[in-house]
Structure 1
Amino acid sequence: MEGSFSATPGPNLFAGSWPKGRRRRLWRMRSEGSWRLSRTSWPRPCPRHQEGPDSSGPGASIMKASTMKERLGMEATVLAIETAFPQISLALWASEKLLLPKTDLTTKRAASLHEALQELLETAGIRAQDLKHILIDQGPGSYTGLRVGLALAQTLEFTVGCEVKALYSTDLFATHFAEQVEPGETFAIALDARRRHWTLALYRVEDSGLKRLAEPRCLPLKEFEAALSDISLVAGPHSEVPGVSSPTLLPIPQAPELLDAFSLSRPVTRVQPIYLMPPV
């Protein structure tokens, strides 16, 4: 199914050093149609975060330093980890600057994620022990990506004792879409969970800010359409949503948008991944 949250592999996926067992499983999944390998299933990541390694460049335009200081505190050092989507990313807020790594995160995900973290710490001139918070997207999202990101967050939590705060993937889309919504309006974020299931989360823009009305739910198609019967505003990463005439297409979030959604985060002692389609 086009537009699903399954990981988008790069070229030569089945060549090289992939274990034979994994290659067989992937080929079987493709032959059964349970995993689309198209690179066009997803819109491109949000262009606001494509440039600039620090807060002086366009890549940091998502949030002004004054806003971040107000939300996170003057001395806050926050690492944001986004691995729920095919394009993984990291961001670091330190010394009143937003830092983005130059490390290529499109290949060797686990190894490159640690390289990118080391690069960010060196650029900021700090140690891992100086991190105050870790923001992690716990899903709904892809199986492999979520586990890679959660492993990094939990390793840092256990080794340096920083606080881990979790966000839902829908929180990131909602934070982006809330800029287009009038106060008092309720809207939905919809994600294709495949096999005629959709993930749905409801939000409302209030005078005090964005509020999540309920946690994301994975619903069969008929229940999903019924839940949207009274909702006029629907957004997400898909140009077509069942029962919705004109959904708003949103870009795939990247790590800086976890900082944007900080107010929706919640402390967790052991983050559990939420897969787009729960195991059956």
Structure 2
Amino acid sequence: MPETRWTLAVDTSTVVCAALARDGDLVAEARLEDTRAHTEALAPMVQQLCAEAGIPVSGITEFVVGVGPGPFTGLRVGIVTAATLAALAGATPHGVCSLDVIARQAVRAGDAPEEFLSVIDARRKQVYWARHDATGTRLDGPHVTDPAELPDLPVTGPGATLTGRAGFGVEALSAAVMATDWADLPDAGLEPLYLRKPDATVPTSRKSTLLPTGLTPRRKSTSRPGRLKGEPA
């Protein structure tokens, strides 16, 4: 009898979300609407899903992770968590583009137009986006731009409201679709799709310890303080 296939899907490109499927059927899913709690929330969330399914974390056999595009810290937490759990299980983690997941959701909902854009909030008044056809196949992207620079196409996804257009279909990325449909999505590898430089950077120059021209360092005196009257030499 074939072994039961347990699939864990996690995505931290937006908020923290995860789902668990058994042989392609959704068993449990969880979501935390917080864009800054990835580190604290993901591991307990995975444990919660396994408890609901009645299996240990070691019972998971497949691991799927969204590689963005998304913020630096959030993506790292999701990818490292999935890769670590997969390594412990002796499995290979599978990376998928988070925008492809959104497009898949729109297709499954049955209202995807001939061409459309999947959109995620990139902060700094920008959006991540990709162009897809009616089957969810990615035709272009991913990109990060100002909303005004998007092609004139219907939009869907958690960043659709930032475009000033009426979005359709998908308002939040679903880890459940990742867990059940990941094999139908293109392999995106495990490199995070940051698309732009981080806010924090490492200094490229060292602080000089040289004195300005014409100045000399003060030497610390090594002589004893002056003696008080009557003090022996």
Question: 1:103, 1:251 → 2: CA distance?
Answer: 14
Return the letter of the residue paired with 2:22. A
Structure 2 partner of 1:5: none
- In the TM superposition, what is the alpha-carbon distance from 1:241 to its structure 2 partner? 1.3
Q: Please give the secondary structure, in 2, of the residue aligned with 1:154.
A: helix
Question: 1:247, 1:104 → 2: CA distance?
Answer: 23
1:213 aligns with 2:134: no
- In the TM superposition, what is the alpha-carbon distance from 1:261 to its structure 2 partner? 4.2
- Work out whether residues 105 and 174 of structure 2, in 8 Å CA contact, stay in contact via their aligned partners in 1: no
Tell me the alpha carbon deviations over residues 113-145 of structure 1, each in whole angstroms, 9 at most, x when there is no partner: 223323333443444444332111111123332
1:94 aligns with 2:22: yes
Q: In angstroms, what is the RMSD of aligned CA positions?
A: 3.3
User: Number of residues paired by the alignment?
Assistant: 193
| Pairing of 1:1-280 with structure 2 (within 5 A) | 75-86=4-15, 88-94=16-22, 97-100=25-28, 109-178=38-107, 179-181=110-112, 185-195=114-124, 197-206=126-135, 210-219=136-145, 224-225=149-150, 228-229=151-152, 231=153, 233-237=154-158, 238-241=160-163, 245-248=165-168, 250-262=170-182, 263-266=184-187, 268=189, 271-275=190-194, 277-279=196-198
Question: 2:106, 2:62 → 1: CA distance?
Answer: 25
- In the TM superposition, what is the alpha-carbon distance from 1:156 to its structure 2 partner? 1.3
Question: 2:41, 2:124 → 1: CA distance?
Answer: 32
Structure 2 residues without counterparts, runs of 5 or longer: 200-233
Task: Sort the Cα spacing of 1:201 and 1:246 in 2 relative to 1 into closer, same or farther, 3 A.
Answer: same
Question: 2:172, 2:31 → 1: CA distance?
Answer: 19
Between structures 1 and 2, the one with greater helix share: 1
TM-score using structure 1 length: 0.57
TM-score using structure 2 length: 0.66
- When Rg is computed on C-alpha atoms for both structures, the one with the higher figure is 2
- Work out whether residues 234 and 247 of structure 1, in 8 Å CA contact, stay in contact via their aligned partners in 2: yes
Task: Sort the Cα spacing of 1:172 and 1:278 in 2 relative to 1 into closer, same or farther, 3 A.
Answer: farther
Identity of aligned residues (%): 24
Question: 1:145, 1:235 → 2: CA distance?
Answer: 22
